[in-house]
């Protein structure tokens, strides 16, 4: 299994048969190496409804006939735009052809602003656990530190975790390092930093604070092989 990082919170997972894309914010993302017209995906997984995570989901899904997996209200909203979706809720799991997906809680917001300057609610924000080919990947989404991360790690031994470190909107470096202590992953990748001025961070400082996992600081396009 190949897992690659593509700037901000964009993650691609390639199994033997399927390609999954998490939070495909591409247009407007100065950190990414991807172009929307070149992206291939069988499934798109969304953590919450903010534009820097939903991003180019609809265009990519339509171009690839991909299914979008998302929190229930967000899945409904995406489906109204002519895209096949599968809605889920926190704590629920479902087995897809590529493997099992379970949504976890995340402490954040989830909405977007329409052209009338109305805030549209898109359900609870979430993290995503993916079990495929005997490996477990955890994408924390946008979240604050919370103590039940220990429960997530205890019940789902994690091979690779993606955690935000940008501060201001999510955990900062210190809280993210403590989150890694609770989650106990084998490897961890810092995400959601340096895309915008309020979330400028030095990932090396995060790496220095983490003592219980292999920290992989990935540039856009870098990949990790899980075997």
Q: What is the CATH number of the domain that holds 170?
A: 3.60.15.10
- What is the pLDDT, as a whole number, of residue 56? 98
Total count of domains within the chain: 1
pTM of the model: 0.97
**Structure letter (DSSP) for residue 219:** P
Q: Give the model's pLDDT for residue 58.
A: 98
What sign does the CA torsion over 214, 130, 171, 168 have? Answer: positive
Q: 142-153 b/e with 16+ CB inside 10 Å = b?
A: bbebbeebeebb
pLDDT along the chain (227 residues), means of 10: 98 97 98 98 98 98 98 98 98 98 98 92 97 98 98 98 98 98 98 98 98 98 96
- CA separation for the pair 160, 139 (Å, rounded): 9
The conformation of residue 198, written as its DSSP 8-state character, comes to G
DSSP string, 36-66: GGG---SEEE-S-S-HHHHTTHHHHHHHHTP
Domain encompassing residue 93: 2-225
């Amino acid at each position: 299994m190949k897992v690659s990082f593509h700037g901000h919170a964009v993650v691609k997972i390639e199994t033997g048969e399927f390609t999954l894309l998490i939070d495909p914010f591409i247009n407007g993302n100065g950190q990414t190496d991807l172009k929307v017209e070149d992206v291939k995906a069988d499934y798109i997984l969304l953590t919450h409804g903010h534009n820097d995570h939903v991003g180019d989901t609809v265009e990519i899904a339509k171009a690839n006939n991909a299914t979008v997996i998302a929190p229930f209200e967000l899945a409904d909203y995406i489906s109204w735009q002519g895209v096949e979706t599968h809605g889920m809720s926190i704590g629920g799991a479902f087995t897809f052809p590529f493997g099992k997906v379970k949504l976890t809680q995340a402490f954040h917001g989830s909405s977007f602003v329409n052209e009338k300057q109305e805030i549209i609610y898109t359900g609870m924000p979430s993290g995503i656990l993916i079990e495929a080919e005997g490996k477990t990947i955890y994408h924390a989404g946008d979240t604050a530190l919370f103590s039940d991360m220990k429960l997530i790690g205890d019940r789902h031994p994690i091979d690779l975790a993606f955690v935000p470190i940008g501060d201001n909107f999510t955990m900062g470096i210190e809280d993210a390092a403590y989150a890694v202590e609770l989650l106990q992953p084998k490897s961890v990748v810092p995400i959601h930093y340096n895309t915008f001025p309020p979330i400028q961070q030095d990932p090396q400082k995060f790496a220095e604070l983490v003592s219980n996992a292999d920290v992989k600081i990935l540039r856009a396009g870098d990949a990790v092989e899980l075997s």
